[in-house]
Amino acid sequence: RNLRRFLSDTMANTLRPYLNCIRHTLTAALCLRNFPSQVVERHNKPEVEMGGSKELLLNPITIARNESEKCMIEASVNSVRISVRIKQADEIEEILCHKFTRFLMQRAEQFIILRRKPVEGFDISFLITNTHTETMWKHKLVDFVITFMEEIDKEISQMKISVNARARIVAQEYMRQYVR
């Protein structure tokens, strides 16, 4: 148990600066204002999703912690898209991650800022628009995204542990009939 705590502490040490960097970049990117569509009258679309007018889009920023973990922040005048690639060390984590993010994305309405499909190359995406920053606190939105990124790693490792434990119990029960 001490080894696990030591490992989680060292992991946390490298995780903190990564999350802090994302926090500050996100706070800077979330300066949004209402901007009706220039293409269609009376329409109001998130410009980062439309991707049409270059003057409305900011430079996308990617922060890569290692090959398997990175975060891309694409900002525009009225919306920000945050895409996260979650660490998946082996096949079980890949499957768990895929199922977990699918579960969340199917309930994207409840999450308000979640996107129903992740951006290509990432596992999950958020879309925050000016309406969200008008109705919700910006620092709380940033907190939510950062906590989400922290928690999802923990949840996936916990799920992996419980999957392994269940598999061991099932195997034991099954093999019992052959032992006499």
Partner 1 sequence: PHPTPSGLYFLHSAHERDPMSSEEDLKASVTARAAKVSSMLSGDKGAALRTALADPPVTSKSAETKALNAVAVGDVITACGDGEIEAIIEGLSDTERDVLMKYLYKILGDVGQCDKSGQLLKWHSKLLKKTGMGAVVRSMTDRKTV
Contacts with partner 1, residue ranges (CB under 8 A): 14, 17-18, 20-21, 24-25, 27-29, 31, 58-59, 61-67, 70, 75
Of the two residues 61 and 159, which places its CB atom closer to partner 1 in the complex? 61
Which residues pair with residue 61 across a beta bridge? 73
Q: Supply 61's token pair.
A: 């920023």
Max Cα–Cα distance, the chain, nearest Å: 79
Task: Report the nearest approach of partner 1 to the CB of residue 14 (Å).
Answer: 6
Q: How buried is residue 4: exposed, middle or buried, by Cβ count under 10 Å (0-12/13-18/19+)?
A: exposed
Q: How buried is residue 80: exposed, middle or buried, by Cβ count under 10 Å (0-12/13-18/19+)?
A: buried
Residue whose structure tokens are 């199917």: 106
Task: Report the nearest approach of partner 1 to the CB of residue 174 (Å).
Answer: 43
Task: Report the nearest approach of partner 1 to the CB of residue 20 (Å).
Answer: 6
Of the two residues 57 and 159, which places its CB atom closer to partner 1 in the complex? 57
- Which of 50, 53, 72, 51 has its CA nearest to residue 62? 72
Of the two residues 25 and 53, which places its CB atom closer to partner 1 in the complex? 25
Of the two residues 41 and 120, which places its CB atom closer to partner 1 in the complex? 120
Task: Report the nearest approach of partner 1 to the CB of residue 51 (Å).
Answer: 16
